[in-house]
Amino acid sequence: MAKQVKLSARPRSESGRNSVKRVRARGSVPAVIYGNKTTPSNLEVSHRELAALLSHAVGENILVELEIQDGSNKSTQLSLIQEVQHHPVARDILHVDFQAISMTEEITASVTVEAVGEADGVKNFGGLFEQSVRAISVRCLPQNLPEIITVDVSALKIGESIHIRDIKLPAGVTIEDNADLTVFIVAEPSVAAEPAAASATSPEVIKEKKAAGSEEKK
């Protein structure tokens, strides 16, 4: 199941480029939380805590219990990390979006699909392993959300495939995507082109023999 962690946050009343710079200068990351019939709210979270949280995640789905400290008032909100923006070069975390959710209401999320094992058709017969779907959309309660979906492909032979409908999901999880989509397939090995046949037989070199009646040296 998806990992559930706690993260400290506080309201962010300022907006604009300069305010964002000030937030980052004090070691925080600008954030926003929306969804679950609530008005979008600007927040800031600790860069250090968020970076540590992301570095230990196996998949992209992380349930976060935001502990929002607003002066003397403290509240909690369960959320799902929806998007993390990174600097294109330095890869620093620039912004994070949280989707507010409820433990009693189903959510829809995209879950990464990962192959486990080496297909028989590849290992023993030189086939080509192909993965055409990297993530599938599922629907479930937050506590049932898979962190990642693994599929054993070791029995796949050449010409065989695994479709979304063939994937065994945890209890309480249903597929939102087209069940007929192919996820994995073992294709025929590529055949190297045969060397082109010689265009023509090399001409036979015939040396002319001396005439039998050639003159003798005098």
Q: Residues of the chain whose pLDDT is less than 70? A: 191-218
Sign of CA dihedral 15, 65, 80, 8: positive
pLDDT, position 58: 76
Query: Which residues of the chain form CATH 2.40.240.10?
Result: 3-103
Q: Please spell the DSSP secondary structure of 146-206, one letter per residue.
A: -S-EEEE-TTPPTT-EEEGGG----TT-EE-S-TT-EEEEEEPPPPPPPPPPPSSPPPPP-
pLDDT, position 193: 45
pLDDT, position 3: 74
H or E segment to which residue 123 belongs:
helix 120-123
Is the CB of residue 32 less than 8 Å from the CB of residue 10? Answer: no
For the chain, give the mean pLDDT. 87
Query: Which residues of the chain form CATH 2.170.120.20?
Result: 108-187
pTM: 0.75
pLDDT, position 61: 85
pLDDT, position 205: 53
Per residue in 17-76, pLDDT (tens digit) is: 788 889 999 999 999 999 888 789 999 999 999 999 998 887 778 899 999 999 899 999
Q: What is the dihedral of CA 58, 98, 25, 51, to 10 degrees?
A: -10
Amino acid at 68: I
DSSP 80: E
Q: Which CATH superfamily is domain 108-187 in?
A: Ribosomal protein L25, C-terminal domain (2.170.120.20)
pLDDT, position 18: 83
Strand partners, 3: 62
pLDDT, position 13: 82
Q: Which CATH superfamily is domain 3-103 in?
A: Ribosomal Protein L25; Chain P (2.40.240.10)
